[in-house]
Structure 1
């Protein structure tokens, strides 16, 4: 009987010891799963269709992102996520814990690493810009850039764009016309469908649009129009008091003029004030961009200076001849220009001219303006070497 008691006692002691050890192992493993990992520099991890959690865990261990593939899999299994791996390219940040990596690989969403094609539609042309994430910094690095209408794509460009994980983006710059936008979208072979009608001028929002391969051009244009409608409605609802616009559409016309007159964001409210002050005094707007639009119909840049005959010719867009605003916008203005048109600076300015630095100098009187023009012409003369 005594021997039996000793055997039972030793067994219980051993069992308790094993439980203590097991508890310690579990606690240690839990800490390994939740604490910062060993990765000293970020890496890109590609999860392809059909990938297995075991293979991914071994790849992460081989790249130094986790200390144990077994603990990684066990933790994912305990969390019920071992079978929820999502396809994509993932930027694994330095010292990311296993728990965080599992969450990242199973929650899905847009890829955070790899290649991005940004098709930029500007006033003077288009650019295909291919960028790749540098895992070490987490920042995009430009890999290639070209004009699809004037240049041949660099070697390997098409293959990079065709990758399943390459993100596609269309960026519309402020000041492009609707005709320019439609023409540019026709050159984007990752889009589909025909555009039946050019959207009304001014109704497209300059912004950046992430799209899926094969998206319809008309759907993208509809998204641009929806964003512009929201921007205009919001700004109109919160507009300053005492403005002469009868409708939001008139404010959009003014915003398009402001957009074309200056590329300096801080100047936009002052530029808007000049035109509103001129309207208040019954003066003509006398702005070249509207005349140019009347000549080109928004179909590309003029490519030369305006002729005296064009400045004298009566057209709906010649603000040297007509009173007030032209009948439509002359480009697609950005939100900042819309805000400037509806929240102009309080000034007495009636004139402005380039100052030689990319901005403008403003004046309240014709005498001061003429002096500013003389200075600008002297700057032009010096720069041309005359």
Structure 2
């Protein structure tokens, strides 16, 4: 009898083990195999959300077939504590493993309703965008200029949604005053700004924020990011540059940023100004003069006057030697890198070439010919001639 009991127990254990193995194999296939959703899904991870809450949400919206298997798989991958706040687009048939990777990798949110403040050189805009699941692309739904337009109701309602993404996007080359004015226009932010941050100290980038985020705290985050970028790039700078401090490199980067809108030209533009400093020539660049006129508050929507070019100010690089005393805008990382890794050239001049870029010259004769070509282009376009320039475009 005992032999029969032992035999039956052994048989039962084998069946149990086979069943367990089959269950594990099935669960593994469910976790790693193609998902059940036939459409793209926008997966949102709320600030401070637990894996349990996220797994329930995913199961409810049909992104995963089992919240339990999803949690178990995330635990097995050792990623259960790595959730990153944001909204993430996952394609049709995405596996649970793919979703775990998406919501723990972080990075910019890629789907959902988004209200975005764009801080630009020539003005600000607040816009509403939504992701089209069929294309995976954001589509603009509404936009307004906070300086002279009423905020559309659609944007107001969207900003109040608990799952809406709020973003501040700061363009390269904006001034610190422009950033502060832009943040004041964003009704989904809170708090006062005691003073405008130092020019050049803020990192142009895209910042995802929560509703009610404090403006001063956001500015501090922007400043910390710029400080980190500058320190990293300064550490890796080329040998023999005519800058004694990272702050001087930042000033140069801001000039490069304002001088060209063509990304590939930045190292060439930087080489012109570096060559001028090395030879003891004045920089002779309009953007510094303009900053001396405006103080970084707004845009000068006219050409420089002869009196402004002749006036001696710390920012008039036609009249003073070396760099101006401060940056003239907030440069992006690419401009900082160009200032610290300029091209090796013998260029001393540049001027607009009519294509959006610049013609670079090695001597005054070449430059005067390039200026003449540009003046002819202006004449043909019916545009007023710019002020005479040396190092400026």
Please state which band the TM-score falls in when normalised by the shorter chain: 0.7 to 0.9
Partner of 1:160: 158
Partner of 1:206: 204
| Aligned with 1:241 (options 236, 239, 242) | 239
**Alignment deviations for residues 46-98 of structure 1 (CA, whole Å, 9 cap, x no partner):** 799998977864652xxxx56xx6xx2563587698xx9x9986644311235
Contact 2:268 2:345 in 1 (8 A): yes
| Aligned with 1:33 (options 26, 30, 34) | 30
Mapping 1:340-351, distance limit 5 Å: 340-351=338-349
Partner of 1:262: 260
1:316 paired to 2:306 = no
1:219 paired to 2:217 = yes
Partner of 1:145: 143
Aligned CA distance change for structure 1 residues 113 and 254 (closer, same or farther; 3 Å):
closer
Which whole-Å CA distance do the structure 2 matches of 1:76 and 1:326 have between them? Answer: 58
CA RMSD after TM alignment: 3.6
Instruction: Give the SS at the match of 2:359.
Output: strand
Aligned CA distance change for structure 1 residues 29 and 381 (closer, same or farther; 3 Å):
same
Which whole-Å CA distance do the structure 2 matches of 1:98 and 1:132 have between them? Answer: 24
The unaligned stretches of length 5 or more in structure 1 are 1-7
Which whole-Å CA distance do the structure 2 matches of 1:333 and 1:373 have between them? Answer: 27
Partner of 2:69: 75
Instruction: Give the SS at the match of 1:156.
Output: helix
Displacement of 1:41 in angstroms is: 2.6
Displacement of 1:143 in angstroms is: 2.3
Contact 1:251 1:342 in 2 (8 A): yes
| Aligned with 2:251 (options 237, 250, 253) | 253
Contact 1:88 1:165 in 2 (8 A): no
Contact 1:351 1:362 in 2 (8 A): yes
Contact 1:274 1:348 in 2 (8 A): yes
Which whole-Å CA distance do the structure 2 matches of 1:243 and 1:74 have between them? Answer: 59
Which whole-Å CA distance do the structure 1 matches of 2:286 and 2:336 have between them? Answer: 19
Which whole-Å CA distance do the structure 2 matches of 1:236 and 1:196 have between them? Answer: 30
Instruction: Give the SS at the match of 1:127.
Output: strand
Mapping 1:327-342, distance limit 5 Å: 327-342=325-340
Which whole-Å CA distance do the structure 2 matches of 1:356 and 1:76 have between them? Answer: 57
Aligned CA distance change for structure 1 residues 219 and 73 (closer, same or farther; 3 Å):
closer
Which whole-Å CA distance do the structure 1 matches of 2:24 and 2:245 have between them? Answer: 68
Partner of 1:119: 117
Higher deviation after alignment, 33-42 or 197-206: 33-42
Displacement of 1:379 in angstroms is: 0.9
Contact 1:292 1:302 in 2 (8 A): yes
| Aligned with 1:230 (options 207, 228, 231) | 228
1:173 paired to 2:167 = no
**Alignment deviations for residues 169-191 of structure 1 (CA, whole Å, 9 cap, x no partner):** 11111111111111111111111
Contact 2:115 2:155 in 1 (8 A): no
Instruction: Give the SS at the match of 2:323.
Output: coil
Which whole-Å CA distance do the structure 2 matches of 1:281 and 1:233 have between them? Answer: 27
| Aligned with 1:358 (options 344, 356, 360) | 356
1:286 paired to 2:284 = yes
Partner of 1:300: 298
Counting matched residue pairs gives: 369
**Alignment deviations for residues 178-209 of structure 1 (CA, whole Å, 9 cap, x no partner):** 11111111111111111111111111111111
Contact 1:33 1:99 in 2 (8 A): no
Which whole-Å CA distance do the structure 2 matches of 1:52 and 1:269 have between them? Answer: 46
| Aligned with 2:186 (options 175, 185, 188) | 188
Partner of 2:389: none
Q: TM-score, normalised by structure 1?
A: 0.82
Aligned CA distance change for structure 1 residues 88 and 208 (closer, same or farther; 3 Å):
closer
Which whole-Å CA distance do the structure 2 matches of 1:331 and 1:385 have between them? Answer: 27
| Aligned with 1:131 (options 126, 129, 132) | 129
Higher deviation after alignment, 298-307 or 18-27: 18-27
Q: TM-score, normalised by structure 2?
A: 0.81
The unaligned stretches of length 5 or more in structure 2 are 385-393
Q: Rg bigger for which structure? A: 1
Aligned CA distance change for structure 1 residues 245 and 88 (closer, same or farther; 3 Å):
closer
